[in-house]
Amino acid sequence: MPNRNILYANTLVDELARAGLRYACLAPGSRNTPLVLAFARHPAIRVFSHLDERSAAFFALGLALATDTPVAVVCTSGSAAANFFPAIVEAHQAEVPLLALTADRPHELRDSGANQTIDQVKMFGGFARWSVDVALPEAMPPPVALRNLRTLAARAMAIAGGEPRGVVHLNLPFRPPLEPTPAPGDMTEPPAAAQPRDNHAPYTQVLKAAPAASPEAVVEQIVAIFEQHERGLIVCGPRCPGGAFGELVSELSQRTGYPALVDGVSGVRFGYPGVIGGYETFLFGEHSFPPPEVVLRFGAIPTSKWLNQYLDASASPVVIHVRASGVWADDSHRVSHFVVADETAFIRALLPRLTERRSAWMQRFAEAEARVWAAVEAGIAEEPYFDGGAVYDVVDLLPEGASLFVGNSLPVRHLDQFGKPGMKRIHAFANRGASGIDGNISTALGIGAGRPDAPLAAIVGDITFYHDMNGLLAVRRCGVPATIVLLNNDGGGIFHRLPINRFEPEFTDYFVTPHGLDFAPAATMYGLEYVQVRDREAFRAAFRASIDARAATLIELRTDARTDLARRNAVIQAAVTPRNRFRRDVS
């Protein structure tokens, strides 16, 4: 540790590792040199090197999504830090644990016109759960200053990974020398009063005790509600807990007779018996289903437009939302009971108090579910092949335990509508916090890095792919093979679902924005195999070959947005009017 900067950086990074940090994403620069060296040289932290900050931040986001632990992302000063912002917003909205470490110029250079110097203090505003402008390193710091770095690391990890999870921003100013060159007079080793704990233990352990209040009264109240009402629904939105939660939701559904309607990226869609995934189709455009008397919600607001509209129009007198983080997620403001509790523990406490109930209500949803998947499978067998069919096939072809990332805007909706539930466990992810199309490739590759033993597939649209083509560098640079399915309808296909589609030429010129890009050279530049397909047989063969080989492949399916929408509508029509034969003519 030849100078004060190296001492400070090593102390902070060492304590982050002791507190459990295992991954860091680094972007190159000068001012962050002490931090880069500290991370690169620490044996307990795996480092991923990126050339640009936006991709680094979204890759870190994907790592944190896959591992559910805080991941650090590090950059130099100036606009480099501003490139973290989209990923910071997504992490905050989706409750993903992230540590943003931004190097900065010393205080005397702020507001001075100095090169590459902007106001970085609390620059992420309310999107960071905690922001600290860390003190400048001193030549001869008192022991308390170095102990402060260690407690700072412990607190940062605890807040980022706490409830609710989110972003912690540490802004770290440095004066030269930034490199590990000797500086006469600088302390190079911590004094006895600032030494780390023995046996690699963290300096400060942040322990979380169970809430003092007993949940018994709350659970008994909910049980009484369930016993009084036969027509109930369990709704699992995005980002539900992992572990035993999915199995418990399935058991709760069977015990109560309440259908479990589970989002494509809830974590409960794939691998659990009896769940319902066809609601976006059988609730489309009309509400022939009677309103539920009780709705039990978990996770964030569902992706499905028609499910959300059905729940809002139903105006159920009892809407219970259980969320450990305590973060509000009810844009229609229908929640009658907001329960801040561990979701898995809550269901475990409910189950022994419930008697199993069979109902015609449950059977009605099961029959609608069966009609949907019969219509979907019949529709996919018809020509032309369409993007929803490709998403169905990806779910069908992925092996047990695979990772699947779906991009915004259409792919995540296609997964919600065409991703058939089944007993095969697939770990599905999406950036549904802010639902942006930026950084999606990088997030997907970060997920692959966090789950290296699982095959990774990503489904993205052409505009989403265009927004983050530079993220493809991580395939080779970070060693993350991925099968990327590019649904290319030459523009913003989702806008065809909006009323603006009737207004030309503005609709095509300013909303769809056709680009005419050839994406094959992008695959070549970043070292991916490239396959272009047009029909189902070719798509399934190319996808299966890439997944089986764990290859890095870009599979481009060129489709037409208007035809895709017509195919989707035909499937819906066949599902809601089952006596009609599926029509070949979908024009």
pLDDT digits (tens, 9 = 90+) for 159-189: 999 999 999 999 999 999 999 999 999 999 9
What average pLDDT does this structure show over 505-526? 93
Whether the per-residue pLDDT at 498 is higher than 60: the answer is yes
Backbone φ and ψ of 156, nearest 5°: -60, -45
Fold identical between 216-364 and 382-572? yes
Closest CA to 378 of 576, 571, 572: 571
Structure tokens at 51: 């050339």
**pLDDT attached to residue 496:** 84
**pLDDT attached to residue 347:** 95
Q: CATH for 382-572?
A: 3.40.50.970
**pLDDT attached to residue 270:** 98
Calpha distance 482→550 (Å, rounded): 7
Please state, for a pLDDT cut of 90, what percent of the chain lies above it. 88
Calpha distance 406→487 (Å, rounded): 11
**pLDDT attached to residue 287:** 62
**pLDDT attached to residue 217:** 74
Residue of higher predicted confidence among 215 and 405: 405
User: 561-576 vs 387-397: helix axis angle to the nearest 10?
Assistant: 70
Averaged pLDDT of the chain: 93
Closest CA to 582 of 376, 325, 417: 376
Whether the per-residue pLDDT at 248 is higher than 60: the answer is yes
The architecture in CATH of the region 216-364 reads 3-Layer(aba) Sandwich (3.40)
End-to-end CA distance of the chain: 71
What average pLDDT does this structure show over 427-447? 97
**pLDDT attached to residue 587:** 27
Confidence of residue 501 (pLDDT cuts 50, 70, 90): confident
Could you tell me whether strands 403-406 and 456-461 are parallel, antiparallel, or unpaired per DSSP bridges?
parallel
Closest CA to 94 of 435, 383, 423: 435
Contact 410, 303 (CB under 8 A): no
Please, which residues have CB within 8 angstroms of residue 127's CB and are 6 or more apart in sequence? 85, 88, 89, 91, 92, 167
Residue 216, Cβ density class (10 Å: 0-12 exposed, 13-18 middle, ≥19 buried): exposed
What average pLDDT does this structure show over 109-124? 92
Q: Which amino acid is at 512?
A: V
**pLDDT attached to residue 582:** 36
Whether the per-residue pLDDT at 213 is higher than 70: the answer is no
pLDDT per residue over 317-361, tens digit each? 999 999 999 999 999 999 999 999 999 999 999 999 999 988 899
**pLDDT attached to residue 210:** 59
Confidence of residue 116 (pLDDT cuts 50, 70, 90): confident
Confidence of residue 583 (pLDDT cuts 50, 70, 90): very low
**pLDDT attached to residue 585:** 35
Find residue 168's DSSP bridge partners: 99, 130
pLDDT per residue over 549-577, tens digit each? 999 999 999 999 999 999 999 999 998 87
Whether the per-residue pLDDT at 581 is higher than 50: the answer is no
Residue 110, Cβ density class (10 Å: 0-12 exposed, 13-18 middle, ≥19 buried): middle
Strand ordering across the sheet containing 98-104: 46-49, 23-26, 71-75, 98-104, 167-173, 130-133
Residue 163, Cβ density class (10 Å: 0-12 exposed, 13-18 middle, ≥19 buried): middle
DSSP H helices in 95-239: 143-160, 216-228
Q: Where are the domains of the chain?
A: 4-180, 216-364, 382-572
What average pLDDT does this structure show over 84-108? 97
Please state, for a pLDDT cut of 70, what percent of the chain lies above it. 97
Residue with tokens 């060693």: 479
* Longest alpha-carbon distance in the chain: 87
Q: Which of 203-212, 514-523, 552-561 comes out lowest in average pLDDT? A: 203-212
What average pLDDT does this structure show over 470-497? 94
pLDDT per residue over 231-247, tens digit each? 999 999 999 999 999 99
Confidence of residue 209 (pLDDT cuts 50, 70, 90): low
Find residue 260's DSSP bridge partners: 234
- Selected from 2.40.30.10, 3.40.50.720, 3.40.50.2300, 3.40.50.970, the CATH number assigned to the domain covering 4-180 reads 3.40.50.970
